[in-house]
Amino acid sequence: MASHWEEFYATHLPPIDFEDNRKLLQEFCERHNRNNERIVLITSGGTTVPLEHNTVRFVDNFSAGTRGAASAEYFLDHGYVVIFMHRLKSLEPFTRHFNGQKFMDMLELHERGPNTTITVKPDSVDVLAPILASYKSAQENELSQKV
């Protein structure tokens, strides 16, 4: 007799981008495994589980993803490589600090004829700079993979 999870996967198709994501994750893990780096998987945001094959009803829990996004930053800061699996529209590492209008309030718009520039307000640089530096470091060193 098949277990519940085996039955679930036998009757539900994988997401459209499953194979692309599987390949990205495999390459990511193999690259960091070769360097003996510690890898952590963080799941974040709410979860939806269908109750039937042709899904009309489902069980859904709601989560903003605050703890998962903060955990990803913590692990990156402590030398881990992070796989961050999150629900669409949940908070993400680094950008979680600037939810909604708070981020927009940190910026200034300078319109000079056809040239428009955007700068960070001087009183916001001390807040934004360390978070941006951490983000850039993680990206440049390929320490995180979003799924």
| Pairwise CA distance, residues 38 & 30, whole Å | 12
Environment class of residue 79 by beta-carbon count within 10 Å: exposed (0-12), middle (13-18) or buried (19+)? exposed
- Asked whether 32 and 76 are in contact (CB, 8 A), the reply is no
| Pairwise CA distance, residues 106 & 36, whole Å | 39
pTM score: 0.80
Per-position pLDDT tens, the chain of length 147 = 557 778 878 877 888 999 999 999 999 999 999 999 999 999 999 888 877 777 788 888 889 999 999 999 999 999 999 999 999 889 999 999 987 778 899 999 999 888 899 999 999 999 999 999 999 999 998 888 887
In this predicted structure, what is the pLDDT of residue 36? 95
